[in-house]
């Protein structure tokens, strides 16, 4: 690894370590299921968690799972070969997600949010079957900021992606150790490490009208005009003033 890649790796590890500490994401004895889509983010997450696992003063284990969405051309052979050669326990969960989305998607709903809900449901069932008490997802700080704006613009809700989430049924804990990492740094790192990246072959992936792509573009424009916009939005998520909002459940009597 070059000196600049090593510096980048140290920076990413330190930010992941900070998120783990700030939100108690990993504890002694945890069995963590890492969701691997095969993209740059999930490869980076797996790699950083494995480095931390080897260095951490506490013991925890990692298993890796890919939810195969049933999209034509989505090939997992590369992932499987890479992971098995490095001794990871790896599971591919084959699904009929595409058919389910096409059959059940409400015309007013987004393909992506329905897809994300289905994937999460599959992971929620898979984790306890594999003896895992936590599920690690590879969302980064850009994903979190975009989700916050998407929810405000299109759902009328003030919510983003939390670093740690207890599922509604209380069976699973979802953790997002890369919540402080920037997408651009992850892309540089994945490139430097030459991870065997595969693409999801999703039929709507290149749809330029997708709301998330529009929000991404908007944020990039705002960042040029006012550098620091994105980091300010992220900071705002941990600096909430309930008395200055309008949710009657949150307001002090
Ligand atoms: S782009 Fe495709 S695979 Fe990705 S979340 Fe949207 S529907 Fe799912």
* Whether 56 contacts 173, CB under 8 Å: no
Ligand 1: which residue has its CA nearest to atom 7?
112
165 strand-pairing partners: 174
Least confident of 27-41, 114-128, 180-194: 114-128
Q: Is the CB of 112 under 6 A from ligand 1?
A: yes
Task: Round the average pLDDT of the chain to a whole number and report it.
Answer: 92
pLDDT of residue 161: 96
| Percent share of the chain, pLDDT over 70 | 98
| Range 20-32 average pLDDT | 98
pLDDT at 210: 81
Strand partners, 33: 63, 135
Interval 83-126: pLDDT, tens = 999 999 999 999 988 888 888 887 777 778 888 889 999 999 99
- What per-residue confidence (pLDDT) applies to 35? 98
Does residue 111's CB lie within 6 angstroms of at least one atom of ligand 1? yes
| pLDDT at 178 > cutoff 60 | yes
Query: Ligand 1 within 6 A of 116 CB?
Result: yes
Compute the average pLDDT of residues 60-84.
92
Q: Which residue has the tokens 């670093």?
A: 163
Long-range Cβ contact pairs of 87-91 (< 8 A, separation 24 or more):
88/46, 88/62, 88/63, 88/64, 89/63, 89/64, 90/63, 90/64, 90/65, 90/66, 91/63, 91/64, 91/65, 91/66, 91/126, 91/130
pLDDT of residue 202 exceeding 90:
no
Among 37, 74, 95, 115, name the best residue to mutate to test ligand 1's pocket (greatest count of ligand atoms within 8 A of Cβ): 115
pLDDT of 226 strictly over 80:
yes
Question: What SS3 class is residue 70?
Answer: coil
The 3-state DSSP class for residue 138 equals coil
DSSP one-letter code for 251: S
pLDDT at 252 over 70: no
21 in Cβ contact with 31 (< 8 Å): no
The pLDDT value recorded for residue 209 is: 58
Mean predicted confidence (pLDDT) in 179-203:
93
**What sections of 67-182 are H helices per DSSP?**
77-85, 97-104, 111-129, 141-150
102 lines ligand 1 (CB under 6 A): no
């Amino acid at each position: 690894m070059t000196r600049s890649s090593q510096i980048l790796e140290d920076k990413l590890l330190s930010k992941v370590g900070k998120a783990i500490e700030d939100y108690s994401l990993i504890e002694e004895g945890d069995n963590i299921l890492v969701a691997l889509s095969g993209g740059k983010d999930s490869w980076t997450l797996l790699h950083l968690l494995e480095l931390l696992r080897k260095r951490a003063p506490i013991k925890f284990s990692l298993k890796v799972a890919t939810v195969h969405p049933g999209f034509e051309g989505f090939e997992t052979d590369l992932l499987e070969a890479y992971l098995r050669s490095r001794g990871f326990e790896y599971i591919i969960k084959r699904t009929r997600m595409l058919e389910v989305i096409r059959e059940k998607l409400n015309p007013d709903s987004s393909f992506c949010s329905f897809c994300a809900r289905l994937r999460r449901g599959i992971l929620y069932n898979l984790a306890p079957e594999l003896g895992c008490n936590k599920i690690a997802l590879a969302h980064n700080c850009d994903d979190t900021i975009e989700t916050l704006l998407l929810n405000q613009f299109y759902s009328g809700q003030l919510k983003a992606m939390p670093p740690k989430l207890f599922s509604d049924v209380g069976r699973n804990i979802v953790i997002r150790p890369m919540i402080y990492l920037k997408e651009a740094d992850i892309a540089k790192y994945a490139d430097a490490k030459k991870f065997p990246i595969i693409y999801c072959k999703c039929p709507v992936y290149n749809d330029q009208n997708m709301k998330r792509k529009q929000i991404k573009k908007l944020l990039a424009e705002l960042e040029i005009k006012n550098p620091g916009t994105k980091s300010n939005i992220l900071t705002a998520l941990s600096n909430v003033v309930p008395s200055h909002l309008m949710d009657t459940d949150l307001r002090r009597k």
